Structure 1
Amino acid sequence: MSAFSQIATKSKLTLGLVFPLEAYGGPIPQMKAQEKLAKRAEELGFKALWFRDVPFNDPKFGDAGQLFDPWVYMTHIMNHTKKIALGSASIILPLRHPVHTVKSINSLQILSNERVILGIASGDRPIEYPAFDKDLENRSDLFRDSFFYIKALQGDFPHYTSKYYGKTNGGIDLLPKYHNKTPMLVTGHSGQSLDWIAEHSDGWLYYPRDFRTLQLVMQQWKEALNKVEKDWKPFMQSLYVDLATDAKMSPTSIHLGFKSGTEYLIAHLKLLESYGVNHVILNLKYGSRTAEEMIAEIGEKVVPNFS
């Protein structure tokens, strides 16, 4: 079974975690004991670990991700785990050259025994674009150009002319070769129409929304898939969670999520599953307990309900 099929099954929901596996204030985590926690998450049945692409620390944004380069850190965690899926959430296509992106993808797929899932985005921090000499006004075009160049580069001796990133004339080949399909999930809209995402991506990564908005979004996603004659593609989302020690505690709002006991967390996730959400990426940043405690309790009490 591929890593993608392990986390994305129609009418079923699975759970993953995003780095840092840490509860912390401010934008910069300590990144301690992450290897131990990643192994523990795998043992407990979480289906994926997710890595973010954050080139710079923007103090106004308040989130520097896992600090380390996503490809480097994914390789590091790969060597401390065995089978859990390794996902990017998300690689900023306009700010990375497609050749280097494909080189990294192919290398990691082979070295990890095909555990990589590629979340992709146009970026949510405009201040980064000048550092790469990229025009923010062009980010939608840059995203599409990179997307299709990546697709071409995954073939043999590619012949492709990119508007922004160069061209290959069929006389050179990119190694190592990885001929199986690497899933590419678009995050948010990344400057694209939902019809474009439904046609070209392998799934959609979205953000936490209230249930009424989620139902509307899911209906729009289904309609977009119907337009391009696709029966189903997975829908995934992030969710910030602070797990209370009282299992029966009712939810209180936190940024892009809630604090609650395990009983409400299970009920919330079951409702997401009923709406068609296939994978939820849990973020523990705003936790009032340690990540180790929350991962253990979620793994023991929540994950079994979605395995």
Structure 2
Amino acid sequence: METPNRGYERLFGGDDLTVGATFPLTGTREERPDVARELALAERLEDLGFDGLWARDVPTYWPEFRDAGQTFDPWTWLSQVAARTEAVALGTASIVLPLRHPLHVAKSAASLDRLSDGRLVLGVASGDRPPEYEAFGVSEAERGAAFRESVRVLRAAWTTDFPEVETRWGRMDGTLDVVPKPTRGDLPLLVTGNSRQSREWIAEHGDGWLFYHLPDDTLRDYLDDWRARTDAPFVTTCTVELADDPDAPPEHVNQGFRAGAAWFREYFRDLDRWGVDHVLVGVTGDDRERAYERVASDVLDAL
């Protein structure tokens, strides 16, 4: 982006690895999380120095998937978080573009960006829950094409006054505009996973690539390929379970590791050396606040 917003600058403006966390911070994924606890923990993570807070977009709850995200609509939820925080980046991980009209996305995202004084970073995806496509009347087979068209509408709506654009969702003939515009004239888009696109397309049309936790060798291969195409940011995720023994070796857990703080410090240094720009950290256990405090003090502060 030519003029990145505050959120993008917070995450990617320096040379060092930055760290964020994903809602629900308290761990509840099948029912409504406690609002007061979630917001208090969001404030606490900003105080601890976390650089980003990320909300997921899960339009419907599918029990077979066993995960309702943070339950609340990401635009509404992040507006609450924006009112309770000051400088931390606010991210979506990620808006499912084929299931939403792009003009609604354009207006909601620009509104949140304005209300947060330019802190929104928009992760976008094509979706991964098959029943949702039928529920929304969207062709699962065409979600890749719909994703590309949606990105085209978003860019036009944010960067052009009274745009002229025609897609499967409808036609704007230059007599209508979408307001407000973002704080910096555009919004950063991080393509999530492959989103049914080629890497060439992602590098050309995205402002970064957000990929799920990968084995080390695979991650390094992805990073080498990405850096050969672009200098745009690369974002990944990692579950962090800190063992009581600071020197404990790593054990694999879902989307991450259980290990001692010493190992995690070296692992995060490796991520930085390999070219990762931002990592979304998740924690486990009954006391999530204490878990995040330990990550901050025992791992991040020592980097």
Same fold (TM over 0.5): yes
User: Paired residue for 2:128?
Assistant: 124
User: Paired residue for 2:191?
Assistant: 186
Asked if 1:272 corresponds to 2:271, the answer is yes
Give the CA deviation at 1:12.
Answer: 2.1
User: Paired residue for 1:294?
Assistant: 291
User: Paired residue for 1:228?
Assistant: none
Match of 1:40 among 39, 44, 57: 44
Q: Distance in 2 between matches of 1:42 and 1:178?
A: 23
Give the CA deviation at 1:22.
Answer: 2.1
User: Paired residue for 2:248?
Assistant: 249
Q: Indicate if the aligned counterparts of 2:102 and 2:154 stay in contact, CA closer than 8 A.
A: yes
Structure 2 matches for 1:177-256, cutoff 5 A? 177-178=181-182, 180=184, 181-225=186-230, 232-256=231-255
Secondary structure at the counterpart of residue 107 of structure 2: helix
Asked if 1:19 corresponds to 2:23, the answer is yes
Q: Indicate if the aligned counterparts of 1:94 and 1:122 stay in contact, CA closer than 8 A.
A: yes
Q: Distance in 2 between matches of 1:57 and 1:263?
A: 38
Q: Which digits, 9 at most, give the CA deviation of each residue in 1:189-216, with x for residues without a partner?
A: 1000000000110000001111111111
Structure 2 matches for 1:161-176, cutoff 5 A? 161-162=166-167, 164-176=168-180
User: Paired residue for 1:143?
Assistant: 147
Q: Distance in 2 between matches of 1:249 and 1:102?
A: 47
Q: Indicate if the aligned counterparts of 2:125 and 2:195 stay in contact, CA closer than 8 A.
A: yes
Give the CA deviation at 1:172.
Answer: 1.2
Q: Distance in 1 between matches of 2:70 and 2:58?
A: 8
Q: Distance in 1 between matches of 2:161 and 2:302?
A: 43
Q: Distance in 1 between matches of 2:66 and 2:262?
A: 30
Q: How many residues align?
A: 296
Secondary structure at the counterpart of residue 63 of structure 2: coil
Give the CA deviation at 1:147.
Answer: 0.6
Q: Distance in 2 between matches of 1:302 and 1:202?
A: 28
Q: Indicate if the aligned counterparts of 1:89 and 1:119 stay in contact, CA closer than 8 A.
A: yes
Match of 1:100 among 87, 100, 104: 104
Q: Distance in 2 between matches of 1:288 and 1:110?
A: 35
Q: Which digits, 9 at most, give the CA deviation of each residue in 1:141-176, with x for residues without a partner?
A: 0000111011111121111111x1111111111112
What RMSD, in angstroms, separates the aligned Cα atoms of the two structures? 1.6
Q: Distance in 2 between matches of 1:179 and 1:171?
A: 23
Secondary structure at the counterpart of residue 194 of structure 2: coil
Q: Distance in 2 between matches of 1:22 and 1:262?
A: 21
Name structure 1 gaps, 5 residues minimum. Answer: 226-231
Change (3 A) 1:142 1:44: same
Bigger shift: 137-146 or 215-224?
215-224
Q: Which digits, 9 at most, give the CA deviation of each residue in 1:252-276, with x for residues without a partner?
A: 1111111122221111111111100
The two structures have a TM-score, normalised by structure 2, of: 0.93
Q: Which digits, 9 at most, give the CA deviation of each residue in 1:96-138, with x for residues without a partner?
A: 1111101111111111110000000001111210010001000
Secondary structure at the counterpart of residue 258 of structure 1: strand
User: Paired residue for 1:153?
Assistant: 157
Q: Distance in 2 between matches of 1:256 and 1:190?
A: 19
Q: Distance in 1 between matches of 2:286 and 2:298?
A: 16
Q: 4+ residue stretches of structure 1 with deviation over 6 A?
A: none
Give the CA deviation at 1:86.
Answer: 0.2
Asked if 1:30 corresponds to 2:33, the answer is yes
Q: Indicate if the aligned counterparts of 1:242 and 1:258 stay in contact, CA closer than 8 A.
A: yes
Q: Indicate if the aligned counterparts of 1:184 and 1:202 stay in contact, CA closer than 8 A.
A: yes
Give the CA deviation at 1:49.
Answer: 0.1
Q: Indicate if the aligned counterparts of 1:35 and 1:80 stay in contact, CA closer than 8 A.
A: yes
Secondary structure at the counterpart of residue 79 of structure 1: helix
Amino acid at match of 1:274: R
Percentage of pairs with the same residue? 38
Q: Indicate if the aligned counterparts of 2:117 and 2:183 stay in contact, CA closer than 8 A.
A: no
Larger RCO (CA within 8 A; separation ≥ 6):
1
Amino acid at match of 1:261: G
User: Paired residue for 1:304?
Assistant: 301
